[in-house]
Amino acid sequence: MNGSCLGPDGYFTVCSDTTLWALLQRPISITTSRTDRTDSLSSSSSAKHIMYEYAIQYIDWDIYHPLLYTSFTQEDHPIPTFPPNYDDRTQCLTYNSTTVHIHSCLANQAAWKWSFDSSGKIMYSFGDTNYDFFHNQHRQDAHYSWIQRILLGPFLWYNQKYHPHIPPASPTNSITCHHLHRCPSTNVAIMSTCPIDTSITHKSLISITTKLVPFSISLQFDELLLSDFSHLKSSSSSSSSATVKESSSLMTRNDDPMSQKLSLVSSPYSLNGIHDTRESDITGGVISSSHTTSHFKADVHIHEEPHLHPELKYPSDLLFSNRGEIALARPKKIPTSMSQVVASGKSTETMLRDQEPHDQSQNRIFINTLHDSYARPQKTRKIPTHPYLIASKDGLYEDPRTGLMFFTDLCPYLGYDKYTYGRQTLMGMGHYYRTLLKIKVRYAFN
Amino acid sequence: MYVSKRDVLADSFFIPYASMTAKELTQNDTFYQYLYSDNRKIERTLFLKMNMQITVNSMRASLEADWKLLSPEHKAALIESSFKKRDADQNMLKTIQNPDNPSHCSCGQSAPEIFKADPSCCSRGTVMSFTWLKNGDMELRIGTSILYSI
């Protein structure tokens, strides 16, 4: 999304050969008609709404293929631009009640049921798509299954209420967690039900997360990291009214009437184990229910916890400045909550667009050490790149010492279909010498 | 060395190496020992490209003497297989006719007489590859044709 890819460690970073997932976004233009009746006459009007659908695209191609780039800003760090015109071979992630699969993005509408909430959680709707949901709200008998969502992450959290066929982790709580496991072929399976103690601390959850993510497609979407994606960190001091605004989903435009409805959905997961998917009632934009969305509780907990795993980053570490300037650890002046964004007159989309990477200096990630203070400038490092792929041309790498050409992807040589078997990537190169003959020359002078 | 990208991504061993630079990786013996170890988690191909013209006998001798990744039984089977007569495929016929191959080396493959092929040598650029599959099989290719599968 916005030129970034979902990286192997669950962060949105610059696309490279090790990134696997990209988010596809497509607008849905919906025209609805409304009939207003008065005593003497009736008038009809139509309104056009723009909503968005999202799919998670599986990327298994040569990320450095020249067709992927519209421009090369730097020779060694080209910025890939994913073409929006995906074809029927583009594969996307779909999910059913037990497993995650990869299917064609175009042929399978189920691939477009991923969504995001205000804090950036990636969720999957078993029921309605954005489009369906929009129409359902106009039906009296609509069954809102929107809340039946899955949080995709190292753990898949769900409410036992909606998944009675899966036994709970323990009799004392109804929260069960799974993590994704990549199968050798094209499937991704949900493996290893792991009981989670409801009294688990954030710190220990992080370490479990790290431990249970054995492969690169795992998505670390706990509460802390979720806000990394959205770039809109939820404020711990949000009031109820702010909550309404903050809950406006990224799926809709701010001026969309759907925003309020979507805001009713509570986060299905919180760090302290509270699992709340109840809907609140809203009248005139004010929450009438006393339920507080659970993710705000989690935020408070996060902000009180200064110790992070060394490999994890604070949400602000992924905030890039427009001109590639090195950002400080805590950009306090940047509006972090949706309420602040709305107050500043800047839409969510604008925020995201503004943070779009434009040059090489933005292709840096900010690394936090364990006890970094907020004020200290962050240490930066380049994202590792594949030297053979970077130096290759048309899929061929030329060995500078011998002049011999080598494939960067061996699939054509082996006779494999790249889309079925994936890339066979050049990993290393060496020179093998063998002394065949030892010739001794003697000169005889007469 | 080529590895299956999907297999690498599915193998938790590689997680610590994901953030390393190429230079850091080259200094890490554990990484390459794992790649060359006898594990069936990842599909690997060792891809050899000759930098000079070489005789088939020299290749056999090198295989027998220096290769430590193959068991003696595998080596014997491969060497024995290399003596079997094989017809040159289209790629090899092109190689025989290539101006950069003045000796018309066909690397143990037989071609019609018109090509004046010399099967006793392999030209520069000849490829030999060993592929270890995850089911335990191993494939040897010379050029693009599979010479032997164990």
In this complex, the residue of A415, A431, A434 whose CB is nearest that of residue B66 is A434
Q: Provide the 10 A C-beta neighbour count for residue A232.
A: 24
* Dist. CA A391–CA A118, nearest whole Å: 40
The single-letter DSSP state of residue A80 is P
Query: Closest residue of B to A406, CA-based?
Result: B49
On whether both A398 and A373 belong to a single domain, the answer is no
pTM for the whole thing?
0.42
On whether both B52 and B100 belong to a single domain, the answer is yes
On whether both B129 and B65 belong to a single domain, the answer is yes
Q: Collapsing DSSP states into helix, strand and coil, what is residue A170?
A: strand
Handedness of CA B60, B62, B65, B69 (dihedral sign): negative
pLDDT at residue B37, rounded to an integer: 79
On whether both A420 and A330 belong to a single domain, the answer is no
Burial of B80 (0-12, 13-18, 19+ CB in 10 A): exposed
From chain A, the residues in CB contact with B35 under 8 A are 427-428
From chain B, the residues in CB contact with A404 under 8 A are 49, 51, 125
On whether both B3 and B16 belong to a single domain, the answer is yes
**Mean pLDDT of all residues in B116-129:** 88
Which range among A31-40, A394-403, B89-98 shows the weakest confidence by mean pLDDT?
A: A31-40
The larger pLDDT score, comparing residue A194 to residue B13, is at B13
pLDDT at residue A446, rounded to an integer: 54
Q: Collapsing DSSP states into helix, strand and coil, what is residue A407?
A: strand
Burial of A400 (0-12, 13-18, 19+ CB in 10 A): exposed
Q: Collapsing DSSP states into helix, strand and coil, what is residue B109?
A: strand
pLDDT at B144 over 50: yes
Number of structural domains in chain A: 2
Give B84→chain A minimum CA distance, Å.
Answer: 22
Q: Do A184 and B131 touch (CB under 8 A)?
A: no
Report pLDDT digits (tens) over A98-131.
666 777 877 777 888 777 655 555 667 765 544 4
Q: Any bridge partners for residue B145, and if so which?
A: B142
The single-letter DSSP state of residue B126 is -
pLDDT at residue B75, rounded to an integer: 78
On whether both A270 and A413 belong to a single domain, the answer is no
The single-letter DSSP state of residue A157 is B
Q: Do B6 and A429 touch (CB under 8 A)?
A: no
- Boundary residue ending a domain (A342, A365, A385): A385
On whether both A358 and A375 belong to a single domain, the answer is yes
On whether both A298 and A411 belong to a single domain, the answer is no
On whether both A345 and A412 belong to a single domain, the answer is no
Q: Provide the 10 A C-beta neighbour count for residue A245.
A: 22
> Which residues have CB under 8 Å from A284's CB, separation 6+?
none
On whether both B101 and B139 belong to a single domain, the answer is yes
In this complex, the residue of B7, B47, B58 whose CB is nearest that of residue A436 is B58
Here the tokens at position A431 are 């020179």
On whether both B82 and B123 belong to a single domain, the answer is yes
The count of CB pairs under 8 A between chains A and B is: 94
pLDDT at A34 over 80: no
Averaged pLDDT of chain A: 48
Which range among A272-281, A429-438, B136-145 shows the weakest confidence by mean pLDDT?
A: A272-281
Q: pLDDT band at A436, cuts 50/70/90?
A: low
Task: Find the domain containing A56 and state its range.
Answer: 4-385
Please answer whether residues B17 and A18 qualify as being in contact, where contact means their C-beta atoms are separated by less than 8 angstroms: no
* Dist. CA B61–CA A199, nearest whole Å: 66
Task: Find the domain containing B95 and state its range.
Answer: 43-149
Query: Closest residue of B to A181, CA-based?
Result: B10
Q: Do A425 and B3 touch (CB under 8 A)?
A: yes
* Dist. CA A37–CA A28, nearest whole Å: 29
Q: List the single best residue of A17, A188, A216, A388 to mutate versus B (max B Cβ within 10 A).
A: A216
Here the tokens at position A254 are 């701010």
Report pLDDT digits (tens) over A383-396.
667 788 888 888 88
Give A380→chain B minimum CA distance, Å.
Answer: 13
The single-letter DSSP state of residue A162 is G
On whether both B4 and B65 belong to a single domain, the answer is no
Of A266, A292, A270, residue with least CA distance to A279:
A266
Maximum pairwise Cα distance, chain A: 132
On whether both A299 and A442 belong to a single domain, the answer is no
The single-letter DSSP state of residue A138 is T
Q: pLDDT band at B14, cuts 50/70/90?
A: confident
Give A383→chain B minimum CA distance, Å.
Answer: 7
Query: Closest residue of A to B54, CA-based?
Result: A436
The larger pLDDT score, comparing residue A252 to residue A377, is at A377
pLDDT at residue A12, rounded to an integer: 56
Q: Do B18 and A8 touch (CB under 8 A)?
A: yes
Site of tokens 């290539």: B98
In this complex, the residue of B4, B26, B125 whose CB is nearest that of residue A422 is B4
Burial of B37 (0-12, 13-18, 19+ CB in 10 A): exposed
On whether both A277 and A393 belong to a single domain, the answer is no
On whether both B51 and B36 belong to a single domain, the answer is no
pLDDT at residue A189, rounded to an integer: 42
Burial of B144 (0-12, 13-18, 19+ CB in 10 A): middle
**Mean pLDDT of all residues in B75-101:** 82
Query: Closest residue of B to A185, CA-based?
Result: B6
Q: Do A415 and B144 touch (CB under 8 A)?
A: yes
Q: Do B19 and A384 touch (CB under 8 A)?
A: yes
User: What b-and-e string marks burial along A292-309, b requiring 16 or more CB atoms within 10 Å of the CB?
Assistant: bbbbbbbbbbbeeeeebe
Query: Closest residue of A to B124, CA-based?
Result: A404
From chain A, the residues in CB contact with B10 under 8 A are 182-184, 215
Q: Any bridge partners for residue A54, and if so which?
A: A25, A114
On whether both A400 and A338 belong to a single domain, the answer is no
Give B139→chain A minimum CA distance, Å.
Answer: 10
Q: Do B11 and A215 touch (CB under 8 A)?
A: yes
- A120 sits in the region (left: phi over 0; alpha: psi -120 to 50; else beta) called left
**Mean pLDDT of all residues in A434-440:** 62
Q: Do B18 and A185 touch (CB under 8 A)?
A: no
pLDDT at residue B73, rounded to an integer: 77
pLDDT at residue A355, rounded to an integer: 36
> Which residues have CB under 8 Å from B134's CB, separation 6+?
A184, B7, B40, B41, B42, B43
- A395 sits in the region (left: phi over 0; alpha: psi -120 to 50; else beta) called left
**Mean pLDDT of all residues in B85-109:** 86
Q: List the single best residue of B14, B17, B19 to mutate versus A (max A Cβ within 10 A).
A: B19
In this complex, the residue of B10, B22, B127 whose CB is nearest that of residue A182 is B10
Report pLDDT digits (tens) over A235-276.
333 333 333 333 333 333 333 333 332 222 233 333 333 333
pLDDT at A347 over 60: no
> Parallel, antiparallel, or unpaired: how do β-strands A188-194 and B2-4 relate?
unpaired
Here the tokens at position B21 are 């630079």
On whether both A179 and A256 belong to a single domain, the answer is yes
Mean pLDDT: which of A39-43, A340-344, B37-41 is highest? B37-41
pLDDT at residue A122, rounded to an integer: 63
Report pLDDT digits (tens) over B31-71.
888 887 777 788 899 888 888 888 888 888 877 777 776 77
On whether both B54 and B96 belong to a single domain, the answer is yes
User: What b-and-e string marks burial along B121-143, b requiring 16 or more CB atoms within 10 Å of the CB?
Assistant: bbbbbbbbbbbbeeeeebbbbbb
Q: pLDDT band at A44, cuts 50/70/90?
A: low
**Backbone phi and psi for residue A286, each to the nearest 5 degrees, phi listed first:** -120, 130
Report pLDDT digits (tens) over A123-167.
677 655 444 544 444 443 333 333 223 333 333 333 333 333 433
In this complex, the residue of A18, A424, A431 whose CB is nearest that of residue B2 is A424
pLDDT at residue A386, rounded to an integer: 78
pLDDT at residue B82, rounded to an integer: 73
Using a pLDDT cut of 70, give the percent of chain A over it. 18
Instruction: Look at chain B and count its residues.
Output: 150
* Dist. CA B43–CA B40, nearest whole Å: 7
Number of structural domains in chain B: 2
Please report the DSSP string for A36-67 in residue order: EE-SS-EEEEEEEEEEEEEEEEE--S-TT-GG
On whether both B81 and B57 belong to a single domain, the answer is yes
On whether both B93 and B115 belong to a single domain, the answer is yes
The H-assigned helical ranges of A141-235 are 202-211, 223-230
Of A92, A101, A103, A75, residue with least CA distance to A20:
A92
* Dist. CA B3–CA A418, nearest whole Å: 13
